[in-house]
Structure 1
Amino acid sequence: MKSQIPLLLVLAVATFGLIRIVQYHWREGTVLIGVALVMAGVLRALLPDGRIGLVAIRGRGMDVLLYGGLGLAVMAVSLTITGGPLHQ
C-alpha cells in the first residue's frame, strides 16, 4: 500500500480538478489536471522504482518527459484560451 501513495496523491489532485470543471470552473480544473500530471513526473523522477507504484508506466526518462510535457501542454492551453462560450 505504501507504494501507491504517489498514485493516490496524483489522483486526488486530478479528482479535485474534475470537480472544479463540473462546477463550471473549467480553467482552474484543467490547470489542476496539468498540475497532477507534472506532479506525477516529478514524483517519478525523485522516487525509486520500489516506491513509485503504478505511476511508473514506462522507463523513468520517458515517464518524466511525457508526464511533464503533457502537464505543461494542458496548463498552457487552458491558460491561453480566451473568449468563446467557456470564457470566465
Structure 2
Amino acid sequence: MTRAVRAQWPVMLVGLIFAAAFALAGANFWRRGSLLIGIGVGVAATLRLVLSDDRAGLLAVRSRGIDVMTMTSVGAAMVYIAWTIDPLGTG
C-alpha cells in the first residue's frame, strides 16, 4: 500500500485538487470549483512535463508532448470558461 501511494503521488495530488473543486461546485460555488478544476489540470500538465515517465505514474498516458499539450489546452479552457461566464443571478 505504501509503495503504491509513493508511486502514484502525482495523480493523487491532482485527485485531491479535483475533490476540493467538486466540493466547491457542490456547495454552489461553481465558478470557483470550475476554476480549481482548471488549475488542477494545469498542475497535472506541469507534473507531466517535469517528471519522468516512471515518476509521473498514471499521468503518463501517451507521449509527454501530447499529454502536456492536451492537459494545457483543457486547463486553459476551463480557466477561461470559469473566468468569463457571469455568475448565475447577476445582471
TM-score, length of structure 2 as denominator length:
0.89
Q: Give the aligned partner of residue 22 of structure 1.
A: 26
Q: Quick one: distance in 2 between partners of 1:67 and 1:46?
A: 14
Q: Report Cα offsets for 1:1-36 as digits up to 9, x if no partner.
A: 222000000000011000000000000000000011
What amino acid does structure 1 have at the position aligned with 2:47?
L
Q: Which runs of 5+ in 1 are unaligned?
A: none
Q: Percent identity?
A: 33
Name the TM-score, length of structure 1 as normaliser: 0.92
Number of aligned residue pairs:
86
Point out the structure with max Rg over C-alpha: 2
Aligned counterpart, 2:67:
63
Question: Structure 1 residue aligned with 2:38, among 24, 34, 39?
Answer: 34
Shift of 1:82: 1.5
Q: What RMSD, in angstroms, separates the aligned Cα atoms of the two structures?
A: 1.2
Q: Deviations over 1:64-86 (max 9, x none)?
A: 0011110010110111001544x
CA distance in 2, matches of 1:84, 1:55: 34
Alpha-carbon separation, structure 2, partners of 1:11 and 1:70: 16
